[in-house]
Structure 1
Amino acid sequence: MNWAAIVLVGGFALTWLGVVVFAADASALWVRLAQAAFGVFLVGWAIQKTVVMIHD
């Protein structure tokens, strides 16, 4: 794993959340919640990998 992958996934996750929150208002609520959960999962993954990279 390298820093570029972590930054790309983290940046994509934040962009994904922004699209879900602000641009996908025509989608059903459960779809938006599932997409937001996916974005939060990706942010969590990036944070977890960042912590692992810092401690190694």
Structure 2
Amino acid sequence: MPGPGAAESSAVTVEPVHFGNHIRAGYLGRSQYPDPYLKAAFDDFRVYGRTLSANEVATLAQS
């Protein structure tokens, strides 16, 4: 994994319902605002029901 994590907190209590309709619509690379679309491609996308450890993230980054 290149470098340390950007941020870490165990106090975050945000649920997906708090993100509004765009999260339920499954948008990736698009804002709920009139921002331009992301000019990129997704090689892999996963959703986990828990926080991954630093070792798990590093292993995924190498695969």
- Scaled by the length of structure 1, what TM-score is found? 0.24
Higher relative contact order, chain-length normalized (CA < 8 Å, sep 6+): 1
Compare the two structures and name the one with the higher helix fraction. Answer: 1
**Structure (1 or 2) with the larger CA radius of gyration:** 2
